[in-house]
Amino acid sequence: MKISLTGPESAGKSTLAAQLAAHYRAAWVPEYARAYLEARGAAYTLPDLEAIALGQLAAENAAAATAGLLFCDTDLLVIKIWAEHAFGACPPWVLAALRQSRYALTLLLAPDLPWAPDPLREHPDPAQRWHFYNLYKADLQRLGWPFVEVAGPSASRLAAAVAAVDKLLARNCAT
């Protein structure tokens, strides 16, 4: 069972993914984009985004082969949002892949945490971060993916995420 964490930059996805994996003694897949861009530099092209998407999917598939529960620190929705923002279009194969939900649940993280500067992050403006959040939410609704919004301070985020995952696990055990 895979659960993705998505949302704008500096919303706490990596931290929460690691916390959830520790809480459930489960596996998690870090954001592939970080390693990719750290190795090649912060500037990226549309082909780079496609390579990042393929790398993320490969990492998820490899981890899912041995994990009962897997937390994914990002998903293809991030690639779609970034591609459309930066290049005005998203690769058709990414759009097609998004129509096939890969996750039992997606946690949409609100950008209500303080901005954490990072050389790989681009949009510190709170209004722009909320703009991206609204794009994520609209796409999740349009795609029909099951998702839960997670907001607030770090401790309440973990509690809300655990409650959502526990509900999912209970529902799956009942069936």
| One-letter amino acid for residue 82 of the chain | W
First to last CA, the chain: 14
| DSSP string of 115-170, one letter each residue | P---TT-----HHHHHHHHHHHHHHHHHHT--EEEE-SSHHHHHHHHHHHHHHHHH
Under the banding of pLDDT at 50, 70 and 90, the label for residue 43 is confident
- Full-model pTM: 0.93
Q: Which two tokens mark 49?
A: 């985004």
Average pLDDT over residues 9-24: 94
Average pLDDT over residues 136-143: 97
Q: CA–CA separation, 24 vs 70, rounded Å?
A: 10
Contact 156, 48 (CB under 8 A): no
Q: Residue ranges of the domains in the chain? A: 2-123+146-174
Please give the share of the chain, as a percent, with pLDDT higher than 90: 77
Contact 52, 79 (CB under 8 A): yes
More confident residue, 116 or 37: 37
pLDDT in tens, 80-101: 999 999 999 999 999 999 998 7
More confident residue, 120 or 99: 99
Q: Which CATH number fits domain 2-123+146-174: 3.40.140.10, 3.40.50.300, 3.40.50.10490, 3.40.50.720?
A: 3.40.50.300
| DSSP string of 7-50, one letter each residue | -STTSSHHHHHHHHHHHHT-EEE--HHHHHHHHH-S---HHHHH
Burial class (CB in 10 A: 0-12, 13-18, 19+), 92: exposed
Residue among 18, 15, 17 at smallest CA distance from 5: 17
